[in-house]
Amino acid sequence: MPPNKPRHKPSRDPRTPMPERAAEVRRGDFDEVASGYSSDDAYREAMRCLQCNNPTCEAGCPVNIRIKDFVGAIIEGQPRRGVEILKERNALPAVCGRVCPQEEQCEAACVLAKKGDPVAIGRLERYLGDFDLACELEHRCVPETAEASGYRCAVVGSGPAGLACAGELARLGHEVTVFESLHAPGGVLTYGIPEFRLPKAIVEAEVGLLEEAGVRIVCDEVIGRIATVEELMTDEGFDAVFIGTGAGLPHFLGIPGENLNGVYSANEYLTRVNLMGAYEFPARADTPVWRGRKVAVVGAGNVAMDAARTAIRLGADEVFLVYRRTEEEMPARREEVHHAKQEGVEFKLLCSPLEITGSNGWVTGIVATRMELGETDESGRRAPVCVLGSDFEIECDTVVIAAGTGANPLTADAAPELERSRRGYIVTDDDGATSTPGVYAGGDIVTGAATVILAMGAGKKAARAMDVWMHQRTES
């Protein structure tokens, strides 16, 4: 230890709360719910960290961010250095600091979690990410890139998997082009996760820094239509290709009435509102969304919470969440469930929709049946079972279905030759290599709907494997 560096004395303060806007205020607009730590908050929270010799939190992070060191940098009053440490492993800290399920990852593995509240690692990550974005553009942290390798890589899809892969390839000195079918990059970060949880300006700014680092992003090009993956390699001269097209195909319930007017997939509802800005229709955006008065959202994952909270903000009088199990089993993050309740979302638990009813082509309600929990099923949760004869009707004028997603359908046209699972996901090895040499894949198109950080981890890992593959092929 350097002689003049004082030993770190961790504080025993309770976890520093995240400042949030009051529920009554925030349910009226799309501004961000949590306003972020001040530098005092961040220091106070960082001081709780034990700076363990063997930081178990880092093992809990899918991309192994050097958590101990970036928290240490905050303790030492050196946020700039903290950003640099973070960005070595994670190109999108302001995004991840907001949307990662830290409670299941790094924070779950924090030593303090054994006795009380873990260090708020996610909030500190967000603090540093925001610190960086608050700097003048020329002072922001752009990770250093290796000398140009002369190799060219294509990345299909600009979601977290594609962006992380592209960032890593650029760092390794390769020339990278990202192809995105929509008119804006970011994948689910842009079209799915709402503004009030993840402001689009943050996504744009972090993507902008990747472009600073040399990543070229081409929007409005659908691989599979404008060119196949094979054509990218043969006609367009890319040495390796990464596929990160996500799990964008919305699932429906397969019950009668699902095509009535006023029934949305969560993807459509959220895309209209986020990507197309329908909440500002007609003043500042041209895409409309149906603003129901009584909205029923079916499902209980993060997507369902986002849809329900969006409906509240679009001015619905009542928003119900219809879920066939209990709150215990809900896949959504606790924090989001809590926020949804605070904002007035009503939970109708243990009930399952049988039919959507309508008149004149428009939704009027849902016929549902009551459920009870039976034996534990293969998911480890108690399986819901119908209570016979318990049908009842929920009156509503809008239904949003958040029943999960499947493999993006255009990916099969992009690369028909790749080995796929029964459900259409691309099969890869641990490094993301597919059945075709030089073609890699990662993120939701491999795993099915998962998380931002897992997608990023897969993208990065694949980038390293692509690097090795390109060099080896040239040598042999």
Q: Residues in the site for another protein, rule: CB under 8 A?
A: 181-183, 191, 219-222, 225-227, 248-250, 252, 258-259, 261-262, 264-265, 267-268, 271-272, 276-277, 281-282, 284-288, 290, 361, 408-410
Span of 58-66, 78-86, 180-188, 322-330 interacting with ligand FAD by CB under 6 A: 180-188
The 3-state DSSP class for residue 317 equals coil
Count of residues that bind ligand FAD according to CB under 6 A: 42
Nearer to another protein, 101 or 301 (CB): 301
Q: Which does 144 bind (CB under 5 to 8 A by kind): another protein, ligand FAD, none?
A: none
Question: Least distance (Å) from another protein to the CB of residue 184?
Answer: 9
- Of residues 273 through 302, those in contact with ligand FAD by CB under 6 A are 302
Q: In what order do the strands lie in the sheet with 240-243?
A: 216-218, 175-179, 152-156, 240-243, 439-441
Number of CB atoms found within 10 A of residue 138's CB: 7
Q: From CA 269, how far away is CA 110, in angstroms rounded?
A: 37
Tokens 């689910």 belong to residue: 188
How many C-beta neighbours within 10 Å does residue 475 have? 6
Report d(CA 145, CA 140) in Å as an integer: 15
Helix (H, G, I), strand (E, B) or coil at 150: coil
Encoding tokens for residue 331?
């896949």
Q: At what angle do helices 334-342 and 302-313 cross, to 10 degrees?
A: 20
Phi/psi for 178 (5° steps) reads: -100, 130
Distance CA 358, CA 367 (A): 11
What residue spans of 260-384 are helical by DSSP H?
A: 266-270, 302-313, 334-342
Query: What, of ligand FAD, another protein, none, does residue 450 touch, CB below 5 to 8 Å by kind?
Result: ligand FAD
The span from the CA of 95 to the CA of 202, in Å, is: 7
Confirm if 227 and 237 have CB atoms less than 8 A apart. no
Q: Does 223 bind ligand FAD (CB under 6 A)?
A: yes
Instruction: Report the residue number, 275 or 367, with the smaller CB distance to another protein.
Output: 275
Least Å distance between CB 197 and ligand FAD? 7
User: What is the DSSP pairing of strand 405-406 with strand 249-250?
Assistant: antiparallel
How many C-beta neighbours within 10 Å does residue 328 have? 9
- Considering only residues 96 to 115 of the shown chain, the ones binding ligand FAD according to CB under 6 A are 99-101
CB of 408 to another protein, least distance (A): 7
**CB closer to ligand FAD out of 75 and 100:** 100
Q: Which does 219 bind (CB under 5 to 8 A by kind): ligand FAD, another protein, none?
A: another protein
Q: Which of the stretches 13-21, 244-252, 356-364, 378-386 binds ligand FAD when contact is defined by CB under 6 A?
A: 244-252
Show Cβ contacts of residue 429 under 8 Å, excluding neighbours closer than 6 positions. none
Cβ-based nearer residue to ligand FAD, 110 or 166: 166
195 binds ligand FAD (CB under 6 A): no
> Nearest approach, Cβ of 84 to ligand FAD (angstroms)?
24
Partner interacting with residue 455 (select from ligand FAD, another protein, none; CB below 5-8 Å by kind): ligand FAD
CB of 261 to another protein, least distance (A): 5
Pairing of strands 175-179, 216-218: parallel
Contact (Cβ atoms closer than 8 angstroms) between residue 423 and residue 407: yes
Please, which residue, 86 or 415, has the CB nearer to another protein? 415
**Binding marks (x or -) toward ligand FAD, 431..470, rule CB under 6 A?**
------------xxx---xxxxx-x---------------
CA distance 398 to 197: 23
259 binds, among ligand FAD, another protein, none (CB under 5 to 8 A by kind): another protein
Question: Is 79 a residue that touches ligand FAD (CB under 6 A)?
Answer: no
**Which positions lie near ligand FAD, rule CB under 6 A?**
99-101, 156-162, 179-182, 187-188, 192-193, 222-224, 244-246, 248, 270, 302-303, 306, 408, 410-411, 414, 443-445, 449-453, 455
